[in-house]
Amino acid sequence: MSLKEKRSIIKPILTRLPRQFNVAVAEIDHQDVWQTAVIALVTIGNDTGHLHSQLEKSVAWLEQFRPDAPIANYSIEIW
């Protein structure tokens, strides 16, 4: 895989996640490494249960939308 191929996988994710789940999303690390991507999702609200649910649903959707791009690790932080 090349960086061009990686970007062809990442770009649709960065475009579709915000539409599906009302989250902000960005690739935040390893932009120049073709083997890895670090993507951050952010949402704001006053109901922590809803926020957690939105982020969990986003991860589940990503696993279904791109089964060829497995999620090695993720964490959810609510402040």
Orientation angle between helical segments 48-65 and 3-21, nearest 10 degrees: 140
* CATH code where residue 31 lies: 3.30.70.1120
Is residue 30, in this structure, part of any structural domain at all?
yes
**Mean pLDDT (10-residue bins), the chain, 79 residues:** 92 95 95 94 95 96 91 93
d(C-alpha 23, C-alpha 58), whole Å: 9
pLDDT at position 68, please?
87
Domain membership flag for residue 78: no
Structural domain harbouring 38 = 3-65
State residue 1's pLDDT score: 81
Q: Is residue 74 part of a domain?
A: no
Say how many domains are in the chain.
1
In-domain check, residue 21: yes
Residue 77 lies in a domain: no
In a domain, 18, yes or no: yes
**pLDDT value at residue 29:** 96
Examine residue 47 and state whether it is found in any structural domain, yes or no: yes
